Structure 1
Amino acid sequence: MARIEKVIARRVWDSRGRPTVEVEIGTSSGAWARGIAPAGASRGSAEAIDLRDGGGRFGGMDIQQALRGIREEITPRLLGFDVSDQEGIDAALIELDGSPNKARLGGNATIATSLAALQAAAASHQMPLWRYLAGDTSVCLPIPQIQIFGGGAHAGRRVDIQDFMVIATGAKSFQQALEMTAEVYAAAGKLMGSRSGLMGVADEGGWWPNFSSNEEALDVLVQAIEAAGYAPGKEIAIALDIAASEFGREGSYRLALDDRTMGSQSWTEVLLGWLDKYPIVSIEDPLAEDDEAGLIEFTRSAGKNVQIVGDDYLVTNAARVEHAADVGACNAVLIKPNQAGTVTETRAALLAAQARGFATIVSARSGETEDTAIVHLATGWNAGQLKVGSFARSERMAKWNEAIRLEDSGLVSGGFIGRAALAGSR
């Protein structure tokens, strides 16, 4: 049994150059590991809250209070714990915080600690994290969703839709999926350059959007797939993250780029029209988190053949997933560890989704780090899908490259799951 002997909390920096929490844990077996908290820009109202200092330093984003909580409260509680007792460690974190949304100690403090403990446990067992999670179960490498154009809160709201992504549905391996995406990403950049629309990249590495309408972005994405030499919908399909809560409230949706405001039903008709016109196989947060009736109706209309993903609506919460299944809203869930605040709560949401027949997608955040743990979560938990951003910027590429290493090891016995992971493809 390896016990926690050392907990170190430090401030590091995320992909936006903002402070974030890193926790490093040392054990009696000599194993050390760390976890780093990411941060989202588009956030569900019910997700775990990052504890920030406020004030003028770093725009109010410093995390000294969170670090103090780790040093003064979390560390004394965890010293001596069996590092393999993930549920016990996370229960202690939840009890210490005492709030419904991790607001007192901070979800950034709890998830960094929880991930550090998980990775230290794997290291103590001398196992890669994915194998430690999978145990004797056969698991598969996930199919990636990869951003080509960034929008919404990730790109100064230059377009309303947050992510325009591709899924290499014709790929036979993870590495082939990346190869195909690399060609599309490059083709999209050339297309943007040829139309004087190349303005750099957004937060997650996707090309900065410069379009006259939201639909024009879809047209250019189809052109990029074709320019890369692939058949849209057959070899490479489109996935969207609408992030509708960013521009929708109380059943009213305002598309600033299109200069149009519409109700829930009219917005649903727009989305259904896009599904008919474009090779879209996955659509995330199509309606706002407070528009459950609209989401139920959209799922009823489109959900048999299209993956409908809940993110802001479900916030990696098992009870919310079960409720969504009961009422017929969504058929897939985005799994973000920092939304839940601990590994145990994250896994509970994933298991609830899998038990109800939902597809599951382990996801990074727009403010990311070099931590590659989510690749191992997606694989070891057999989630089926992985979303970490675009095909650029090292905090993104570190994760894609980690998945290549797992595939190249030959140890992931289930191989590459491919298109079968998508809801609507089963």
Structure 2
Amino acid sequence: MTLITDVQLRKVLDSRGNATVEAVVHTERDGFGRASAPSGASTGEYEAIELPADEAIAQAREHAVSRLVGQVYAGDQRMVDRTLTAADGTDDFSRIGANSAVAISMAAAKAAADVLGAPLYQHLGGTFRGSDVPTPLGNMIGGGEHAVGGTHIQEYLSAPVGAPSVSDAVFANAAVHQTVGELLSDRGVTANKGDEGAWAPAITDEEAFDVLESAIAEVSDELGFRIEIGLDVAASELFADGSYQYGDNTRTTDEQIDYIAELVGDHELAYVEDPLEENDYEAFARLTDRVGEQTLICGDDLFVTNTDRLADGIGSGAANSILIKPNQIGTLSAAFDAIELAVENGYEPVISHRSGETEDATIAHLAVGTAAPFIKTGAVGGERTAKLNELIRIEDTA
């Protein structure tokens, strides 16, 4: 164990140019850890509360830092996170901010690993299924809340499930991303990039499937391994007045279930995130019963890394996978609890970045340490490649 001797907080930039919280934790025996909080654009109704960076820093300095310094050992992650939770005193981190809490939580874990001289994934792992390197899901084409004017479906993902190594998978996603850009250009379609680096062309959802499938076929043939498609529908962002709004077209819940099931079959989807509205456990259960043996039906806004909501989903048979975002719940321990409950009940954990990211690579270690099958990282951009390059380093040195 190594006692926390100092906690520093500062305001830094995220990938959207917004302010976020960075924490630095120092411990006895020269332990050092630094971490920064991401931020989401498409956020679930039940996520922990992110405060403006200046407010989160001020509140954490006032209420949390003195409880940690000289009082808590960085190597006791549960105690670090219990202390943060007690300092906040609410059930959603609305006092000190989930952004300050998660930054401190991750920085403490890094400081503890530093003292041990162990990689972070080893410090975080040990109670799960080993240290397998996950397959990165790369965001290729998008719209929704990440790119206004793009597709209705928020993310079209490349999933290089046949890649023999994480390095091969990373470079496959980069190649698919480049090829998508070239195909759009060949079609005379101008495309900017969204928050996560995906192309954001003004095309229909059907055209996006066509472009991505063409790009994947080209890259897969060249590299010699299978690449599949995943989606983040972000259906809560489409849901209004009791139906799903796709521009001028609307779908009832029954029609949305049929639509997603058809997409799974027609495009052999490996992964479908948030295909239905975030409060509709019953519809999630119906879709899961229909296609759950063919694909992962993943709850993000449905579960928000929260064990209570996950337990409700397990009880109703809603989804078979959970997206894990530590900043959604505020601490690493709470994220681990959600992963553990998921694994115990046959749900696959998928570790994820946010649309507003930093160079922090903690989630790469979290994904390896918990043997998650997939990690959502994006495919290009420095804040995305920070995670991807860290995965390559982990695999190369493990």
The TM-score normalised by the length of structure 2 is: 0.96
- Conserved 8 A contact 2:197-2:380: yes
Supply the distance in 2 between the matched residues of 1:332 and 1:232 (Cα, whole angstroms).
29
Superposition RMSD in Å: 1.7
Question: 2:81 aligned with 1:129, yes or no?
Answer: no
The match for 1:74 among 44, 55, 64 is 64
Supply the distance in 1 between the matched residues of 2:225 and 2:245 (Cα, whole angstroms).
33
- Conserved 8 A contact 1:51-1:105: yes
Matched residue, 1:301? 290
Q: Which runs of 5+ in 2 are unaligned?
A: none
- Conserved 8 A contact 2:220-2:227: no
Q: Which runs of 5+ in 1 are unaligned?
A: 53-62, 412-426
More off after superposition, 230-239 vs 120-129 = 230-239
- Conserved 8 A contact 1:150-1:205: no
Amino acid at match of 1:46: Y
The match for 1:270 among 259, 262, 274 is 259
Supply the distance in 2 between the matched residues of 1:254 and 1:157 (Cα, whole angstroms).
14
Deviation per CA, 1:331-360, whole angstroms, max 9, x where unpaired? Answer: 000000000101110000000000001111
Deviation per CA, 1:303-334, whole angstroms, max 9, x where unpaired? Answer: 11111000000000112222211111000000
Matched residue, 1:392? 380
How far apart are 1:210 and its partner, in Å?
2.2
Matched residue, 2:268? 279
- Conserved 8 A contact 2:130-2:370: no
- Conserved 8 A contact 2:281-2:316: no
Supply the distance in 2 between the matched residues of 1:23 and 1:2 (Cα, whole angstroms).
17
Helix, strand or coil: the match of 2:358? coil
Identity of aligned residues (%): 38
Q: How does 1:273-352 map to 2 (within 5 A)?
A: 273-352=262-341
Matched residue, 2:195? 203
- Conserved 8 A contact 1:167-1:236: yes
Supply the distance in 1 between the matched residues of 2:225 and 2:120 (Cα, whole angstroms).
34
Supply the distance in 2 between the matched residues of 1:75 and 1:392 (Cα, whole angstroms).
36
Matched residue, 1:369? 358
Q: How does 1:24-173 map to 2 (within 5 A)?
A: 24-52=24-52, 63-80=53-70, 81-135=72-126, 138-173=130-165
Amino acid at match of 2:10: R
- Conserved 8 A contact 2:149-2:200: no
- Conserved 8 A contact 2:149-2:202: no
Question: 2:173 aligned with 1:184, yes or no?
Answer: no
Supply the distance in 2 between the matched residues of 1:86 and 1:292 (Cα, whole angstroms).
32
Deviation per CA, 1:335-389, whole angstroms, max 9, x where unpaired? Answer: 0000010111000000000000111111000000000010000001222211112
Following TM superposition, where does structure 1 have runs of at least 4 consecutive aligned residues deviating by more than 6 angstroms?
A: 231-234
Aligned residues: 396
Supply the distance in 2 between the matched residues of 1:115 and 1:324 (Cα, whole angstroms).
27
Amino acid at match of 1:274: L
The TM-score normalised by the length of structure 1 is: 0.90
Matched residue, 2:393? 405
